[in-house]
Amino acid sequence: MTAKKHVAVLMGGWSAEREVSLVSGAAVCKAIEELGHRLTAIDVQRDTIGILQALTMQAGGKPDVVFNALHGRGGEDGCIQGLLEFIGIPYTHSGVMASAAAMDKPLTKRIVGTYGVRCAEGAVVTRDDIVKNGYPLPPPFVIKPTNEGSSVGVKVIQKGDNLDIVEEDSWIYGECVLIEKYIPGHELTVALLGNKGQARALAVTELRPHQGFYDYTAKYTDGKTDHLLPAPVPADVYDASLRMAETAYTALNCQGAARIDIRWDDSLPGTKGLYFLELNTQPGLTPLSLVPEQAAYLHMSFSELIAWMLEHPTCPA
């Protein structure tokens, strides 16, 4: 029987994904209580002293482990991980370096590319570069912030679309912009559970939004996207997607749960149309999230998934 622990759940935060994090955190808190652990839930604000006080003084002292249910900047990019390392509390998901690297999309592509993972063609440019010289690729292409998750700020630009988007005041994601060649075809995703850099890819899901692409709304609004599990793709494409996910996970030295996103251009032969997009070290745990869905497909309940994650934390050196 697993020993009962004092578990602190970090959720909320101040990123663009705050509301999603609160939903993930609420689901995690419920599971932790069902598992019989002692729970301290912390709605994280941008206040280092407040976070330290909550972790070391609330409910009778430091927890045995922190469940990091934060998403986006601050909680997913190595910042909160560094704080937890400093005060010596084990925490779920990946460590400082893997978290920071995975949150930086261009850096992620450079790292996984050295392991033979095929990535979409792209370039990082500044908004000023775009104003002076135009875009580095002809449409269709994809505009992405370099360090946001959940498809926040992502735009697909087709021929004839407005090209002034990064010049407008509505662009709030910094001066650097990632421009990638648009890969037509299918949206695939693979969830992983791993320990000490060794990963097990769970399954492949194909995501079919009812309109547009798999953006923030399609991800978190019930009824907007069909999840096809297992993905109805050829066996060689399915297996290659699993291997691509495990290679990327290992390349970044991830820990615990993660998820990678892939595009598959089925007009190309065999597995040549598979392209890595990005790796998420803090995948969502909402009712519409993909990691719990793939775990359930393999007969692992949500509570069992949370228990596994608590038993495989990143431990400070």
User: Where in the chain do CATH 3.30.470.20 domains reside?
Assistant: 101-119+184-281
Residue 214 pLDDT: 60
Instruction: Name the pLDDT band for 135 (thresholds 50, 70, 90).
Output: confident
Instruction: Determine the pLDDT at residue 182.
Output: 93
- pLDDT-above-90 percentage for the chain: 67
Q: Say which of 151, 261, 275, 293 is annotated catalytic.
A: 261
Domain(s) labelled CATH 3.30.1490 in the chain stretch across 122-181
Residue 175 has pLDDT above 90, yes or no: no
Six-digit token string for 213 = 């692409």
Residues sharing a CB contact under 8 Å with residue 94, sequence separation 6 or more, in sequence order = 81, 102, 252, 253, 254, 255, 256, 258, 281, 314
Q: Which of 203, 198, 290 is nearest to 246 (CA)?
A: 198
The single residue of 150, 151, 241, 289 carrying the catalytic annotation is 150
Residue 121 annotated in active site: no
Q: Is 246 a catalytic residue?
A: no
Highest mean pLDDT among 53-57, 208-212, 312-316: 312-316
Residue with tokens 């060689």: 236
Single-letter amino acid, residue 192: L
Residue of 12, 17, 75, 104 marked catalytic: 17
CATH 3.40.50.20, the chain: domain bounds: 6-93
Cα–Cα distance between 66 and 69 in angstroms, integer? 9
Instruction: Please say if 261 is a catalytic residue.
Output: yes
Rounded (10°) CA dihedral 18, 24, 25, 28: -170
In this predicted model, what pLDDT tens digit does every residue of 183-210 receive, in sequence order? 999 999 999 999 987 899 999 999 998 8
Catalytic-labelled residue, pool 241, 278, 289, 293: 278
Residue 172 has pLDDT above 90, yes or no: no
The stretch 163-179 carries a mean pLDDT of 70
CATH of 122-181, one of 3.30.420, 3.30.1490, 3.40.50, 1.10.287: 3.30.1490
**pLDDT at residue 218, rounded to an integer:** 53
- Specify whether 91 is catalytic: no
Q: For this structure, is 206 an active site residue?
A: no
Confidence class for position 154, pLDDT limits 50, 70, 90:
confident
Q: How confident is the model at residue 137 (pLDDT cuts 50, 70, 90)?
A: confident
Q: Say which DSSP state 138 is in.
A: P
259, 263, 273, 275: the active-site residue: 259
119 backbone φψ class: left, alpha, beta (φ>0; ψ -120 to 50): beta
> Known catalytic residue: 222?
no
Taking only the tens place, the pLDDT of each residue in 140-153 is 999 888 876 656 77
pLDDT score recorded for residue 131: 80
CB 264 within 8 A of CB 274: yes
**For 60-75, how does the pLDDT look when each residue is reduced to its tens digit (9 = 90+)?**
678 999 999 999 889 9
pLDDT of amino acid 225: 87
Taking only the tens place, the pLDDT of each residue in 216-261 is 555 556 677 899 999 999 999 999 999 999 999 999 999 999 999 9
CATH topology assigned to domain 101-119+184-281: D-amino Acid Aminotransferase; Chain A, domain 1 (3.30.470)
Q: Is 19 a catalytic residue?
A: no
Please tell me which residue in 220, 238, 249, 275 is annotated as part of the active site.
220
Q: What is the pLDDT of residues 104-119, one digit of tens each?
A: 999 999 999 999 999 9
**Polymer length of the chain:** 317
| Mean pLDDT within 265-289 | 94
Regarding predicted confidence, which is higher, 129 or 260? 260
**Where residue 169 falls among pLDDT bands split at 50, 70, 90?**
low
Which class is 6-93 in CATH? alpha beta
User: Catalytic annotation on 284?
Assistant: yes
Q: Which residues are within 8 A (CB) of 48 and not within 5 positions of it... i.e. 6 or more apart? A: 83
**Catalytic, out of 99, 241, 280, 289:** 280
Amino acid at 111: I
Average model confidence (pLDDT) across the chain: 89
Catalytic residue among 75, 194, 273, 284: 284
Give pLDDT, residue 159.
83
Q: What is the pLDDT of residue 255?
A: 96
Single pTM value for the model = 0.90
